[in-house]
Amino acid sequence: MEVRLIGDPVLRGETYKIKEFDQKFKDLIEKMYGEMYKSDGVGLAAPQVGMPYKFFVMDDGEGKKAVINPKIISFSDEKITFEEGCLSIPEIFAEIERPKTIKVEYYNENGEKIEQELTDYKARIFQHENDHLDGILFTDKLSVVAKQRIKKKLQELIKEGKRQGKELGEIKLWKIQKI
Ligand code: ZN
């Protein structure tokens, strides 16, 4: 399992719903927890490890959680700004404005439906990871000025991500078939 960098097409592609919550899928979730903690992340979405599926793992300080086929039902009008980073965009951090509170529904790894209201940090991680399932990265939300500031570093990462995506093309296919 390898974390893909911005520039890799898998981070921008379509994602598919999970239909089977079998042991193979649970094993995959475990691997993703491992990768997330190894990389010191608080969230990791399937496309970030080359899999075009609608799920992510996160740890908002209350332990690990798998979020499968998620939907954000509503967003608060109130917005807050918070610094974000991303395992697919290493070493770049930026202040991003997002709704403070969200209502969500998703399935856990046992296929049970969960409904929750999340706020502040928890809502932040959820929104960031959910964006990955729609092919959106936090740097997309930056102003022109803020983007300009990180342009050089971003271009280097995109180049590396494109190369890596090509190299891993076959592994990507194999992983899709395995799921
Ligand atoms: Zn991310």
Task: Give the residue among 17, 123, 30 at the shortest CA–CA distance from 70.
Answer: 17
**How many Cβ atoms sit within 10 Å of the Cβ of residue 158?**
16
Domain ranges of the chain: 9-167
CA–centroid distance, 113 to ligand 1, in Å, is: 24
Helix (H, G, I), strand (E, B) or coil at 28: helix
Distance from the alpha carbon of residue 157 to the mean position of ligand 1, in angstroms: 14
Per-residue pLDDT at 173? 60
Distance CA 4, CA 161 (A): 7
Cα(130) to ligand 1 centroid in Å equals: 9
Dist. CA 9–CA 150, nearest whole Å: 20
Work out the number of other CB atoms within 10 angstroms of the CB of residue 37.
Answer: 14
Q: Tell me the C-alpha distance between 121 and 28, whole Å.
A: 26
Query: What is the per-residue pLDDT for 96?
Result: 96
- Please choose, from the candidates 26, 152, 164, the residue with its C-alpha nearest in 3D space to the C-alpha of residue 91: 152
Task: Please pick, among 115, 129, 156, 167, the residue that the annotation labels catalytic.
Answer: 129
Class of domain 9-167: alpha beta
Distance between CA atoms of residues 8 and 23, nearest Å: 28
Per-residue pLDDT of the chain (179 residues; tens, 9 = 90+): 889 999 999 999 999 999 889 998 999 999 999 999 998 899 999 999 999 999 999 999 889 999 999 999 999 999 999 999 999 999 999 999 999 999 999 999 999 999 999 999 999 999 999 999 999 999 999 999 999 989 999 999 999 999 988 887 766 665 665 55
Active site residue 129: yes
The CA-atom distances, in angstroms, between 127 and each of 3, 67, 69, 101, 160 are 19, 12, 13, 10, 26
Question: What does each C-alpha distance from 19 to 53, 63, 72 come to in angstroms?
Answer: 10, 25, 19
Q: Which two tokens stand for residue 81?
A: 């700004």
Ligand 1 center to 124 CA (angstroms): 11
